């Protein structure tokens, strides 16, 4: 009887250890890389790209959303970030024109199961501006499967309009609908440049939706010494986070960081800081 009890306890321990080992740990991030603006002389894209790519590799992002990416910037990042694949389309025509909200992911860690794009507008199935937006705005999404654990999850990436208040408000509603429609009850991660901070009513709409939680709020450890927009200004002081990582239920967040790295006498790789969260899906 004693041997049988010991055997059962050992089996339970091994099963528990195996279940723990099967938890998928992910380093997720969002990064507005700043479009290639000819007026950015000291902060020109050609100077920033190598630093930005090194930063991403050093931080070992597993999967991350990008914003303001023009086609040649996408091509440059793809070349520099060996080992990553990407999905996304240009927001102007659904092909290569205009900025991309591209999603990069580690090819050795994930299989891409599905992908898609829709526009933040009254007609999301075709390219175009919505409501009072200044530009067309696109969401790129994918369904991914972790090769080590088999975890299947959805990843959504957006860049909300910087001018249209109604557009941002309606985009929040649309994204909540689309995440439910596309992901259903599966785990989902929603990142991007939202152009509103944690002090805004639209942030409250998301945080009280019953669907999404802010990784910042869930994190056991936080590094957030300043807001997420720096404007290439070292002296800018703000605590407003306009770039966010949202998670559906079942995710735990061990670490959250606004990565305030500089190079070459205080220059920044972008006018936004990348935001990273180390998450584990436990449900």
Please give the full DSSP string across 203-236, using - where no structure is assigned: HHHHHTSSS-EEHHHH-SEEE-SS-SB-TT-TT-
Query: Would residue 11 count as lying in a domain?
Result: no
14 assigned to some structural domain: no
The number of domains in the chain is: 1
Is 142 domain-assigned? yes
Q: Is 12 inside a domain boundary?
A: no
Taking a C-beta distance cutoff of 8 angstroms, is the pair 91, 136 a contact?
yes
Residue 17, judged by CB atoms within 10 A of its CB (0-12, 13-18, 19+), counts as exposed
Whether residue 17 lies inside any domain: the answer is no
- The answer to whether position 190 is within a domain reads yes
CA atoms within 13 A on the CB side of 239: 5
Q: Is the pLDDT of residue 134 over 60?
A: yes
Pairing of strands 63-67, 24-32: parallel
Domain of residue 97, residue span: 22-281
What CATH number is attached to the domain comprising 198? 3.60.10.10
Q: How far apart are CA 64 and CA 149, in angstroms?
A: 19
Tell me the whole-structure pTM to 2 decimals. 0.92
**Host H or E run for residue 254:** strand 251-258
Helices within the chain (DSSP H only): 2-21, 45-59, 71-80, 165-183, 201-207, 215-218
| Domain assignment present for 1 | no
Helix/strand/coil for 172? helix
4, part of any domain? no
- Predicted confidence (pLDDT) per residue in 188-242, tens digit: 999 999 999 999 999 999 999 999 999 999 999 999 999 999 999 999 999 999 9
CA angle 194, 200, 206 (to 5 degrees): 65
pLDDT per position as a tens digit, 163-194:
999 999 999 999 999 999 999 999 999 999 99
């Amino acid at each position: 009887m004693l041997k049988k009890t010991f055997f059962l306890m050992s089996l339970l321990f091994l099963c528990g250890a195996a279940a723990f080992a099967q938890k998928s740990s992910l380093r997720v991030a969002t990064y507005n890389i700043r479009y290639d603006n000819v007026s950015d002389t000291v902060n020109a894209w050609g100077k920033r790209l190598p630093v930005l790519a090194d930063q991403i590799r050093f931080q070992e992002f597993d999967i991350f959303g990008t914003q303001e990416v023009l086609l040649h910037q996408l091509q440059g990042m793809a070349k520099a970030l060996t080992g990553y694949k990407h999905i996304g389309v240009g927001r102007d025509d659904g092909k290569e024109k205009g900025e991309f909200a591209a999603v990069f992911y580690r090819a050795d860690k994930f299989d891409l199961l599905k992908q898609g794009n829709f526009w933040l507008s009254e007609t999301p199935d075709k390219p175009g501006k919505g409501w009072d937006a200044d530009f067309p705005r696109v969401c790129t999404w994918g369904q991914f499967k972790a090769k080590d654990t088999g975890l299947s999850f959805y990843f959504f990436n957006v860049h909300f309009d910087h001018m249209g208040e109604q557009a941002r408000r309606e985009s929040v509603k649309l994204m909540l609908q689309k995440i439910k429609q596309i992901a259903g009850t599966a785990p989902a991660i929603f990142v991007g440049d939202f152009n509103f901070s944690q002090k805004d009513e639209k942030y409250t709409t998301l945080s009280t939706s019953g669907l999404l939680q802010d990784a910042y709020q869930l994190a056991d450890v936080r590094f957030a010494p300043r807001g997420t927009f720096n404007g290439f200004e070292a002296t800018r002081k703000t605590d407003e986070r306009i770039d966010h990582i949202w998670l559906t239920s079942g995710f735990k967040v061990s670490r959250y960081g606004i990565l305030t790295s500089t190079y070459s006498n205080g220059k920044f790789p972008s006018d936004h800081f990348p935001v990273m969260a180390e998450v584990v899906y436990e449900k």
